[in-house]
Structure 1
Amino acid sequence: MAGDDFAWSVTLVGEDQSDKLATLAQYLDDGHSASGDGKRVPSGYAYWGIGPTIAWFNASNDPTYMVIKVGTEMFRRQWRSISPLVTDECVHLVSLGVGTGAKDGMFLETMLRANPSMLYIPVDMSAEMLRTGSRTAVRDAHFPLDRSLGLQIDLSLDGNLEELQQFLDRLVGEESILYSLVGNTVANFDDDAEFLNGIARVLRPQDRILVEFATTEDLAPGTVHAAEAEYRQTRGFVEFVASAVRYNTDLKIDLDQVRFTGSVEDESILLKVYWQNAGGEAIRMLIPGSRPIHLEPHDTIRLYTTRKYTTVRIDQLVAGAGLRTTHRQRERFRHTQRQNPFGLELRLLAHDENAPVELPTFDVWN
């Protein structure tokens, strides 16, 4: 296939996609809430399927979405500083959430020069995102197609993380791995600490993980409102967050009914994006293969969750996951004339040998 002009890509699908649709239906029938805390699209499902994949690529290429545009250039500078440490310590790349593939392409271009025999293993819940993003990364970096293998699994499930660890042990042996978790992915999970803890358990002493966090310099009310506006002003992003419901249900979402609400929680700004039934009557929503769901007036569906972290919170997340920071790059956004409290921080993390060991628990009654 590597010598063929046809657009081949190789992906191992680890989950039954009909099960994923059934799980999404359960989350979309999860109780009434007027504040985005009941029915919701869980992390990962926002990108699941060809419709959301296209919507994310469109949002990422929207010239008014300055967070992505400026953030990619900032990442390029930060990666240039950290990359010598990575190429000295890591051989293979495992990308946890491939996205558009632009950042993976930067990784591959640098790491391939240092380790021509390296493997590229992109991992994502969305098979469509895997194919589209990983092909972009491979093409941009002129990476050998026969050294790339995609894995379709949901990283939020502990059983899948165990399978990933066993698979990689058989694939690369004792050779070191760089795990990449960029694009502020940690912030998209309802329990960000629990998610990072699960990922950290996969790391071996010789491995490293590169994590990107969206940052804020303060938690003042004006800063919270600025975070809401940062996402609300980009139509491409609003269309993306609505796409998972639009493409997997028959609900017709009016983008004017998408709300952005921020709050301070755990030394970070928590941003909820949700659709609300602003009419005076119940709306019937149908998901293929499931019974109808009735959305009462003022009921909501949370479409997306994200955060902006203070340094204090990032330190808490890293330490709580049993990790230590070996290098960091932090930079504030400079694309506006007025002072901007937001930015990005890139951390290279390793297993902390001094962290307390969490022993497995057993059911004594069995």
Structure 2
Amino acid sequence: MAEPVPVIRKLEHALADDDFAWSLVLVGEDQTDKLATLTGDLRGPFSTSGDGKQITSGFSYWGIGPTIAWANATNDPFYLVMKAGAESFLRHWRKLRPHVENGGFHLVSLGVGTGVKDRTILSDMRRHNPDMYYIPVDMSSEMLRMGTLEPVRGARFPVSQVLPVQLDFSIADNMEELGQMLARLVDDEPILFTLTGNTLANFESDEELLGTLTRVLRPQDRLLLEVASTTRLDQESADAAADEYHQTRAFAEFVTSTLRYNTDLKIHNDLVKFIGEVEDEDALLVKIFWQNDTGEEIRMELPDHTEAVLPIGDTIRLYTTRKYSTTRLKRLTEACQLTPVEAIQSQFRYARRPNPFGLELLLLAPEGAGETARSLADDIWAT
């Protein structure tokens, strides 16, 4: 009697040349657990500064409503930060890619976004490794479906070499399991992990997240990190950073979308606050939160059909982001035992007045990986 053919192998042939919009996703988490986490976060304590009730990073993109709102925000011509980032990425990447062109790298994209940057990376890397795997990882299965269309169609990357993984990569146990699965999948072949789009800045503890990711890196692996940067650390710059996100209505619709789709709270954009501050003297922190300035108590129905009371002045933090100084980046990478292989820095050029903001793209190796050649990173860290 012949051995049964594994379903995954048969599925590859079954979907070949099928023009229906099939989407294959490896689900790594129980979605009811995620809903319980969101509900618990919305029951947080009273706070007038956005430090009580909150929507943590990942939940901002979780579900079809927030995914559509994010897609709309990224296409808004008034969202200048996104536009400048997309334009600069190609220039930055082409200066870094020689370090990962050889050796047979696979790509693991943490936080798939729109997929435009993954398309650029895959187009270049596949020329040197046609058998490479593309593994996008995101907490939102809807984001995975939307974000993988661009690389697969735009870069004509084979669907049979794509494995989207639904997983919250900010949880240490999840990353450990992902690392073990990837090691079994690719053996000793190197992996390029990417965390682009300033995603690191969206987490309450950026050092904790970076440390979580670093622990799964093997000596042959690399991490491509993209962050927003600043050359000034003062309140005026912090206010300007907050104003960048306040300029576009589409971004406000995006950051409030999780509340719209998971509670019965009536959202008015004039109750959404964009507050900038200097954090730890080495970064600009922007907190975006809804605040009850209606003059009366509000009761909000939660996903489990219980209620949370929102007293006058209470807040719900919707989103967190940062702009990093060189000092902060050096502190983070050293704390996480990461060595810069290469770093590219550029300033935004869309404003008439001098602008302290820009982007940095860093290629990082786990400490002791063996890359010791002097690069632009040495000069940047020396400043």
**Partner in structure 1 of residue 272 of structure 2:** 258
Quick check: 1:52 aligned with 2:66?
A: yes
Aligned to 1:165: 179
Partner Cα separation in structure 1 for residue 296 and residue 104 of structure 2: 57
- 1:67-216 residue pairs with structure 2 within 5 A? 67-216=81-230
| C-alpha spacing 1:171/1:196, structure 2 compared with 1 (3 Å) | same
How far did residue 291 of structure 1 move? 1.5
| Structure-2 residue corresponding to 1:229 | 243
Structure 1 residue 329: Cα displacement:
0.5
Q: Which residue of 2 aligns with 1:361?
A: none
Counterpart position of 1:218? 232
Decide whether the 8 Å contact of 1:277 with 1:299 is kept in 2: yes
Separation in 1 of the partners of 2:16 and 2:190? 25
Give, in angstroms, the shift of residue 87 of structure 1: 1.2
Q: Where does the alignment leave 5 or more consecutive residues of structure 2 unmatched?
A: 1-14, 371-383
Name the structure 1 match of 2:358: 343
CA distance in 2, matches of 1:126, 1:336: 34
Distance in 1 separating the partners of 2:70 and 2:143: 9
Query: In 2, distance between residues paired with 1:218 and 1:89?
Result: 39
What is the one-letter code of the residue matched to 2:362? Answer: R
Paired position in structure 2 for 1:248? 262
Cα distance in 2 for residues equivalent to 1:151 and 1:29? 29
Q: 1:90 and 1:209, CA in 2 relative to 1: closer, same or farther beyond 3 A?
A: farther
Decide whether the 8 Å contact of 2:296 with 2:311 is kept in 1.
yes
Task: Report the CA distance between 1:288 and its aligned residue.
Answer: 2.5
User: Residues 163, 290 of structure 1: CA spacing in aligned structure 2 closer, same or farther, 3 A cutoff?
Assistant: farther
SS in structure 1 opposite 2:132? coil
1:102-154 Cα offsets, whole Å, 9 max, x none, are 10111111111110000000000000001110122211111001100111011
Matches of 2:250 and 2:100, distance apart in 1: 34
Q: Is the 8 A contact 2:222 2:364 kept in 1?
A: yes
Query: Is the CA contact 1:327–1:348 (under 8 Å) kept in the aligned structure 2?
Result: yes
Amino acid at match of 1:281: E
* Structure 1 letter corresponding to 2:158: P
Alpha-carbon shift at residue 74 of structure 1 (Å): 0.4
Give the deviation of 1:279 after TM superposition. 1.2
Count residues in correspondence: 355
2:17 aligns to what?
A: 3
Equivalent of 1:310, from 315, 321, 325? 325
Q: Judge conservation of contact 2:220–2:369 (CA < 8 Å) in 1.
A: no
* Structure 2 residue 67 is matched with structure 1 residue 38: no
In the aligned structure 2, how far is the partner of 1:179 from the partner of 1:23?
27
Rate the CA distance shift 1:90–1:245 in 2: closer, same or farther, 3 A: farther
- Which digits, 9 at most, give the CA deviation of each residue in 1:270-311, with x for residues without a partner? 110000011121111112224211111110000000000000
Check conservation: 1:22, 1:290, Cα contact below 8 A.
no
SS at match of 1:87: coil
* TM-score normalised to structure 2 length: 0.91
How far, CA to CA, are the matches of 2:151 and 2:130 in structure 1? 16
Deviation at 1:91, TM superposition (A): 1.4
The AA in structure 2 aligned to 1:271 is V
Query: Where does structure 1 lack aligned partners over 5 or more consecutive residues?
Result: 356-366
Letter in 2 for 1:5: D
Q: How many angstroms does 1:27 deviate by?
A: 0.4
1:311-339 CA distances to partner (integer Å, 9 max, x unpaired)? 00001111111110000100000011111
Aligned counterpart in structure 1 of residue 310 of structure 2, from 286, 295, 299:
295
Q: Tell me, in whole angstroms, the C-alpha distance in 1 between the residues paired with 2:260 and 2:103.
A: 44
Amino acid at match of 2:324: Y
RMSD of the alignment, in Å? 1.2
User: Is residue 291 of structure 2 the alignment partner of residue 281 of structure 1?
Assistant: no
* C-alpha distance 126-352 of structure 1, shift in aligned 2 (>3 A): same
SS at match of 1:15: coil
CA deviation digits over 1:225-265, x for unaligned, max 9? 11011110111111100011111111111111100111111
Secondary structure of 2:100's counterpart equals helix
2: CA distance, partners of 1:136 / 1:9 = 13
Query: Aligned equivalents of 1:210 and 1:118: distance in 2?
Result: 17
